[in-house]
């Protein structure tokens, strides 16, 4: 696909001027970079890795240089993020893995979402007949789902990898043992969790060394996690699902090791060894949407990412966004997001429990029936009622809206490509920053709080909620790892982002900025973001909130509130000459790290 020339921009990212590197520029050669330096864009040969962290990207590059493929490198990068981004991802969490196989030109996915205990029912978060306060549920054993990340790694490697788990875990094991350099993001995330971390002696001992916040520039080591990785590499993931590691997790969940002096009521969970033994990472077909002659692949439910991004793209299909003004483009993008989120809330849940109309949600016929709601001179009112994808009615009238549940924002995403042309987009998480706040004693990792992604109680008893807890059920997610192929089945771009429910809008905006507006990938990632999720107000980053565009959009009825930072995307792009371009954030989350095996000079 030939992309149009970039649209001129005068907006700043996060309200500060941030120079971004153009599509043709390469990262400085490795010899010219200092250890741990983050570069937001790199171009070259032999494969590429993009993540939020330089050490994690380097782990993936190390595996690629030793002959591993994109799947091997993705697992290595993910494991390293478990060391350097322990508040976002790790052994105690889950995620969604999207893989493009260059030989067959096909896309495959793994649902590695955490599951509720087999004993759970829709009253999981109800106490004395009332839903628990969110803060009480988060920092508790009740919030912990059966981890899916190790099973995801094992499943991906067994089906598409070329290296054993122990081999690809070695860079992360070494990083955990030898340590990494603390940056301001790591310190600030620790500070934000300091109070609840102090409630759990094992968490405080690990993340508050010597009883204090880690110092920027110091070396942070996690020997317990190094030993955990070594055990997983030696014994396989059955160490978690059927072994001593799993028994330690269950004991921790069911009797959280809280400091009695803290006064915190760390409610016990219900996880059992039977829950761990029953867990499976699910191989499943991706979602597929045709957009501008391209095939957009993503993850199907239990995540709502693929259906919601896909529906929004279908709604936008009839509009030439390349010719729209900046205000017109943002208006259309915001309204398409609003509509697709209205449908997400009503229809998407775990398909093992819910009748999810995935095919119908992604039909152009349904999108057209919803797109006619959008007017150029007026704004839809939120919360907007859902449509019925099985019986599309053009511009359907009022109904009862479904709520958007809260999702933690501190997930992480990585994107990898190899010299054979294989591509991985992988988003992994422990839910919000710091997960449940509970560290498994002697194991070096935090447990997730993913079960708080369930609805705690029906928002409206008259409307079915597909996201209530259930036995072994996966809570709905917004994770949206995405791979775009051209009409010949070759990769154009792959990307994803963290950010809770803002993941969907971030991926949608980056895709349309790149595919429609003609921005280079790193610029599409860096541009200021807007996020509308069927709410009364649309969230804007400072670069948009403080711009003249805000007043233009308010003039037709939009209402906005400030969000300092939305998402932290990464991506890779296949260039026409066969080189890979890796792109990451320039500013958000302290900037990301794009690396290639052999940089182009």
The number of C-alpha atoms within 13 Å of 126 and in the hemisphere containing its C-beta is 12
pTM surpassing 0.75? yes
- pLDDT tens for 194-253 read 999 999 999 999 999 999 999 999 999 999 999 999 999 999 999 999 999 999 999 999
Query: Coil, strand or helix: which one is 448?
Result: coil
The predicted pLDDT at position 483 comes to 98
Tokens 């030439």: give the residue. 320
Sign of torsion, CA 63 64 68 70?
Answer: positive
Gap between the Cα atoms of 502 and 533, Å rounded: 8
- pLDDT tens for 153-180 read 999 999 999 999 999 999 999 999 999 9
What's the gap between Cα 131 and its chain centre?
A: 27
- DSSP conformation letters of 295-318: EEEEPPTTBSHHHHHHHHHHHHTT
- pLDDT tens for 319-328 read 999 999 999 9
The predicted pLDDT at position 14 comes to 35
CATH of the domain spanning 31-98+106-282+409-599: 3.60.20.40
**Residue 322, token pair as written in the block:** 């390349």
The predicted pLDDT at position 498 comes to 96
Catalytic machinery residues: 411
User: Mind spelling out the 3-state secondary structure of 351-409?
Assistant: CCCCCCCHHHHCCHHHHHHHHCCCCCCCCCCCCCCCCCCCCCCCCCCCCCCCCCCCCCC
The predicted pLDDT at position 22 comes to 36
The predicted pLDDT at position 8 comes to 38
The predicted pLDDT at position 20 comes to 34
**Long-range CB contacts for residues 105-108, cutoff 8 Å, separation at least 24:** 105/485, 105/488, 105/489, 105/490, 106/489, 107/286, 107/288, 107/297, 107/483, 107/485, 108/159, 108/160, 108/283, 108/286
The predicted pLDDT at position 400 comes to 74
- pLDDT tens for 502-545 read 999 999 999 999 999 999 999 999 999 999 999 999 999 999 99
The predicted pLDDT at position 66 comes to 98
Gap between the Cα atoms of 601 and 584, Å rounded: 19
Gap between the Cα atoms of 78 and 425, Å rounded: 11
Closest by CA to 585, choosing from 80, 184, 52, 57, is: 52
Peptide bond into 21 cis (omega under 30): no
Give 580: exposed, middle or buried? Use CB within 10 Å, 0-12, 13-18, 19+: buried
The predicted pLDDT at position 459 comes to 74
What are the structural domain ranges in the chain?
31-98+106-282+409-599
The predicted pLDDT at position 458 comes to 83
Flag residues of the chain having pLDDT under 70. Answer: 1-36, 397-399, 402-409
SS3 content of the chain, % helix, strand, coil (to 5): 35, 15, 50
- pLDDT tens for 46-72 read 999 999 999 999 999 999 999 999 999
């Amino acid at each position: 696909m030939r992309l149009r020339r970039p649209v001129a921009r005068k907006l700043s990212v996060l309200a500060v001027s941030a120079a971004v590197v153009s599509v043709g520029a390469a990262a400085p050669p490795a010899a010219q970079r200092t250890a741990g330096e983050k570069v937001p864009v790199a171009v070259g040969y032999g494969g590429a890795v993009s993540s939020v962290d330089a050490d994690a990207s380097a782990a993936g590059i190390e595996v690629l240089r030793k002959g591993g493929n994109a799947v091997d490198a993705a697992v290595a990068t993910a494991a390293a993020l478990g060391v350097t981004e322990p508040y976002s991802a790790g052994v105690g969490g889950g995620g969604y893995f999207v893989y493009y196989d260059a030989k067959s030109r096909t896309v495959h996915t793994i649902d590695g979402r955490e599951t509720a205990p087999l004993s759970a029912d829709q009253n999981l978060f109800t106490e004395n007949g009332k839903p628990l306060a969110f803060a009480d549920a988060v920092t508790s054993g009740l919030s912990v789902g059966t981890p899916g990340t190790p099973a995801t790694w094992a499943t991906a490697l067994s089906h598409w990898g070329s290296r054993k788990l122990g081999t690809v875990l070695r860079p992360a094991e070494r990083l955990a043992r030898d340590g990494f350099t603390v940056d301001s993001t790591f310190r600030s995330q620790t500070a934000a969790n300091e109070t609840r971390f102090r409630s759990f002696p094992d968490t405080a001992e690990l993340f508050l060394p010597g009883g204090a916040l880690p110092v920027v520039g110091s070396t942070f080591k996690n020997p317990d996690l190094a030993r955990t990785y070594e055990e997983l590499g030696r014994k396989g993931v059955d160490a978690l699902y059927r072994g001593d590691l799993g028994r330690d997790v269950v004991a921790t969940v069911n009797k959280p090791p809280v400091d009695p002096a803290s006064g915190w009521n760390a409610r016990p969970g219900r996880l059992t060894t039977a829950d761990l033994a029953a867990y499976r990472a699910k191989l499943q077909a991706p979602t597929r949407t045709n957009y501008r002659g391209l095939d957009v692949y993503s993850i199907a439910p239990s995540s709502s990412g693929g259906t919601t991004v896909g529906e929004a793209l279908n709604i936008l299909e009839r509009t030439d966004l390349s010719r729209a003004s900046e205000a017109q483009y943002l208006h259309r993008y915001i309204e398409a997001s609003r509509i697709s989120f209205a449908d997400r809330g009503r229809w998407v849940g775990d398909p093992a429990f819910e009748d999810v109309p995935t095919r119908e949600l992604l039909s152009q016929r349904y999108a057209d029936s919803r797109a006619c709601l959008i007017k150029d001179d007026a704004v839809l009112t939120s919360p907007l009622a859902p449509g019925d994808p099985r019986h599309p009615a053009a511009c359907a009238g009022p109904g009862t809206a479904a709520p958007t549940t809260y999702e933690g924002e501190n997930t992480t995403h990585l994107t990898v490509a190899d010299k054979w042309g294989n591509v991985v987009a992988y988003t992994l998480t422990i839910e919000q920053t710091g997960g449940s706040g509970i560290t498994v004693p002697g194991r070096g990792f935090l447990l997730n709080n993913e079960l708080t992604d369930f609805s705690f109680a029906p928002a409206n008893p008259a409307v079915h909620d597909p996201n209530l807890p259930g036995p072994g059920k996966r809570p709905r997610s917004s994770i949206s790892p995405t791979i775009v192929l051209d009409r010949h089945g070759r990769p154009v771009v792959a990307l994803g982002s963290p950010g809770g429910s803002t993941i969907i809008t971030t991926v949608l905006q980056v895709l349309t900025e790149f595919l429609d507006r003609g921005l280079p990938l790193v610029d599409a990632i860096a541009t200021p973001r807007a996020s509308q999720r069927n709410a009364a107000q649309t969230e804007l980053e400072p670069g948009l909130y403080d711009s003249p565009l805000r007043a233009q959009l308010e003039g037709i009825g939009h209402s906005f509130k400030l969000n300092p930072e939305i998402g932290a995307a990464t991506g890779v792009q296949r260039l026409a000459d066969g080189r890979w371009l890796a792109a990451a954030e320039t500013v958000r989350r302290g900037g990301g790290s794009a690396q290639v095996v052999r940089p182009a000079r």
